[in-house]
């Protein structure tokens, strides 16, 4: 009977084979081959606990079978019982020092435990014993990739492919190594080859999606993440990454669903809670945002970003003491969070910085770029560019030759001044904002740079410099005025807005924006050879349904006084 069962087993007629194995064991409970092969059958159908029971009983009958010990080790490995797995594999190689498969399995367990150098040695031993062992070559390529020995990893994968041209895992591992070398196009080809050989290769879809995401091919990334999720519904990292891509596409409701799915799979996923909080914050659902940030902190108690973001909600809501407490907690965990230091300064904690930190400013506008115009004009009632243009027309009728738009953003000033200037150069710190400005076809030149750096480096001279709603991010204006004066032609014009302040010079407000006093502005004008043509009180934009008061100012440069 046992020969018949083994024959059916080899033919993959598993149900029939299982019935015969069970019949044998019913009458002979200690039958070694029936225990061994029936246990192996259960392992093949991933019924690991049943497989373990039968294989353990077989070992009691005969603990000198290397193949049995190897199979038992595989079951232990699948059950994450790594110490028992290693013990079984090591007993197998003691009994058979040439057992390449057992060495390969030892390598797999070592790799799963993060013992990469041990895994490397064991894969190399398996290959030394069996030079055409394709799985060992593939595994060696994988662990070399994890060790960032990418060139060697590629050689191992190529050797596996040479042995077996349709070995999908080798193409996948090669894709990982190529990606590590930033050879993205080749990595794409290898992931595609792996997928063509195995249409259900979840990890290949996932890794290819990451490549698409890194190269901003967002639609392609979405498709691959969704394919990975179809194949593995509980793939939490795929749900999470998909949510992150959807945020980049400004599909916030869809992203929220993705992060919700991550939390369904793993309620302790702090990053998913954080991202839910960020979306709720964007929707002005502050209560829900606070709850999400608090959940993130509950599951990751040293989560500086979650403390900082929760503090920003308290800040927005005017609960300054709570904001200060959360900000300080965030800084205690990560002193490099310059944005938090700046926020604390706006609440009177610490010295007032001269300017908003560069990186948070870039991130702010990069994230804001796609919706900037609609939000600023439609929701906040922003009209500064048109106000400045109307002011200029009252003093200047002829067309300007060279105009410089400092902090041009998405090009709102360019749109307002376009008919009044022949050549417009735009400068902004945010690449994403400049992409929006470029699409409008207004600017002759667009430059991504800090405006101070740009003014220090350019040799061009301008007839008009415009800076709308830019000085709210800069406190001290001495150097800016001096640099602008040096780049204006004689009788050149300087048009800008400020947010009003009653301080002697400037102040950082609790809104995290700078306000400037008119006496300070007039002093800088006098020091740098500007005459004031007009100062107009204006309402700059709405914040919490209240208009922020400021001034539109037009000056003319006639040389240093």
What the block records as the tokens of 243 is 């949510």
Work out whether the CA dihedral 206, 208, 210, 212 comes out positive or negative.
Answer: negative
Cβ atoms of 348 and 320 closer than 8 Å: no
| Separation between Cα atoms, residue 538 and residue 545, nearest integer Å | 16
Phi and psi, residue 442, nearest 5°: -100, -35
| Cα separations in angstroms, 280 against 90, 237, 252, 302, 349 | 53, 21, 9, 22, 27
Q: Where are the alpha helices (DSSP H) in 64-133?
A: 66-78, 82-95, 100-112, 116-129
Q: What is the DSSP letter of 472?
A: G
Query: What is the token pair recorded at 401?
Result: 């030759």
pLDDT at 1: 84
* pLDDT at residue 343 in the model: 96
- Positive or negative, the CA dihedral 398, 402, 406, 409 is positive
Helices 236-248/202-214 angle, 10° precision: 20
Three-class SS of residue 256?
Answer: helix
Q: Measured between alpha carbons, how far is residue 21 from residues 12, 109, 116, 232 in Å?
A: 14, 30, 39, 33
CA-to-CA distance for 102 and 126, rounded, in angstroms?
Answer: 8
CB 503 within 8 A of CB 419: no
User: Given CA atoms 117, 123, 127, 133 in this order, what sign does their dihedral have?
Assistant: negative
As beta bridge partners, residue 506 has 516
The C-alpha atoms of residue 58 and residue 41 are separated, in whole angstroms, by 14
Residues in the chain: 561
* Sheet of 400-406, strand order: 445-448, 421-428, 400-406, 462-467, 488-499, 546-557, 530-543
- Domains observed in the chain: 362-557 (3.40.50.150)
Rounded to whole angstroms, the Cα distance separating 187 from 195 reads 12
Give me the phi and psi of 254, to 5 degrees please: -65, -40
- 8-state DSSP, 353: P
Q: Which long-range contacts (CB under 8 A, 24 or more apart) does 346-350 make?
A: 346/508, 346/509, 346/510, 346/511, 346/512, 347/315, 347/320, 347/323, 347/510, 349/324
- Report the C-alpha gap between 281 and 309 in whole angstroms: 9
Distance CA 410, CA 499 (A): 21
CB atoms within 10 A of CB 381: 12
Q: Which of 168, 214, 163 is nearest to 190 (CA)?
A: 168
Q: What are phi and psi for residue 465, nearest 5 degrees?
A: -115, 125
DSSP secondary structure string, 48-62?
HHHHHHHHHHHHHH-
pLDDT < 70: residue spans in the chain: 368-369, 371-381, 559-561
Closest CA to 243 of 203, 202, 277: 277
Distance CA(389)–CA(407), nearest Å, equals: 16
| Angle made by CA atoms 522, 525, 527, in degrees to the nearest 5 | 110
């Amino acid at each position: 009977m046992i020969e018949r069962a083994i024959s059916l087993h080899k033919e993959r007629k598993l149900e029939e084979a299982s019935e015969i194995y069970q019949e044998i064991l019913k009458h002979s409970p200690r039958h070694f081959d029936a225990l061994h092969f029936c246990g192996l059958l259960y392992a093949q159908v991933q019924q690991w606990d049943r497989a373990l029971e039968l294989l353990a009983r077989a070992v009691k009958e005969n603990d000198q079978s290397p193949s049995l010990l190897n199979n038992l080790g595989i079951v232990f490995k699948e059950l994450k019982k790594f110490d028992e797995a290693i013990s079984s594999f090591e007993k197998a190689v003691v009994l058979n020092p040439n057992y390449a498969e057992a060495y390969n399995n030892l390598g797999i367990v070592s790799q799963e435990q993060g013992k990469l150098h041990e895994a490397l040695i064991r894969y190399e031993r398996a290959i030394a014993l069996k030079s055409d062992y394709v799985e060992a070559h593939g595994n060696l390529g994988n662990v070399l990739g994890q060790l960032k020995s990418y060139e060697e990893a590629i050689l191992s994968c190529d050797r596996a492919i040479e042995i077996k041209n349709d070995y999908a895992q080798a193409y996948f591992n090669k894709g990982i190594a190529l990606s590590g070398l930033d050879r993205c196009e080749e990595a794409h080809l290898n992931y595609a080859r792996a997928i063509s050989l195995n249409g259900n290769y979840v990890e290949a879809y996932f890794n290819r999606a990451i490549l698409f995401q890194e190269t901003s091919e967002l639609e392609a990334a979405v498709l691959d993440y969704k394919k990975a999720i179809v194949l593995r519904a509980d793939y939490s990292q795929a749900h999470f990454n998909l949510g992150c891509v959807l945020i980049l596409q400004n599909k916030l409701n869809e992203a929220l669903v993705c992060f919700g799915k991550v939390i369904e799979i793993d309620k302790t996923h702090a990053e998913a809670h954080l991202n839910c909080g960020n979306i709720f914050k964007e929707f002005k659902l502050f209560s829900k945002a606070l709850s999400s940030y608090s959940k993130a902190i509950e599951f990751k108690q040293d989560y500086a970003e979650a403390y900082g973001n929760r503090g920003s909600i308290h800040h927005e809501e005017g609960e300054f003491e709570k904001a200060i407490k959360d900000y300080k907690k965030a800084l205690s965990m990560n002193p490099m969070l310059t944005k938090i230091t700046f926020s604390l300064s706006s609440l009177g904690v610490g010295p007032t910085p001269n300017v908003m930190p560069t990186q948070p400013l870039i991130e702010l506008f990069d994230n804001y770029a796609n919706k900037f115009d609609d939000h600023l004009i439609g929701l906040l009632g922003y009209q500064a560019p048109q106000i400045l243009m109307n002011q200029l027309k009252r003093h200047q009728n002829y067309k300007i030759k060279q105009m410089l738009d400092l902090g041009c953003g998405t090009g709102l000033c360019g749109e307002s001044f376009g008919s009044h200037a022949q050549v417009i150069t735009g400068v902004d710190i945010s690449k994403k904002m400049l992409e929006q400005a470029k699409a409008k076809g207004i600017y002759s030149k667009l430059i991504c740079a800090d405006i101070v750096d740009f003014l220090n480096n350019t040799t061009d001279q301008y007839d008009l410099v415009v800076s709308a709603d830019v000085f709210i991010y800069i406190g001290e204006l001495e150097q800016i005025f001096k640099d602008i004066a040096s780049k204006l032609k004689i009788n050149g014009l300087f048009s800008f807005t400020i947010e009003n302040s009653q301080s002697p010079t400037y102040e950082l407000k609790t809104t995290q924006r700078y306000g400037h006093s008119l006496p300070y502005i007039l002093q800088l004008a006098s020091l740098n050879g500007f005459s004031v043509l007009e100062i107009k009180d204006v309402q700059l934009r709405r914040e919490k349904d209240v208009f922020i008061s400021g001034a539109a100012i037009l000056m003319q440069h006639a040389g240093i006084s």
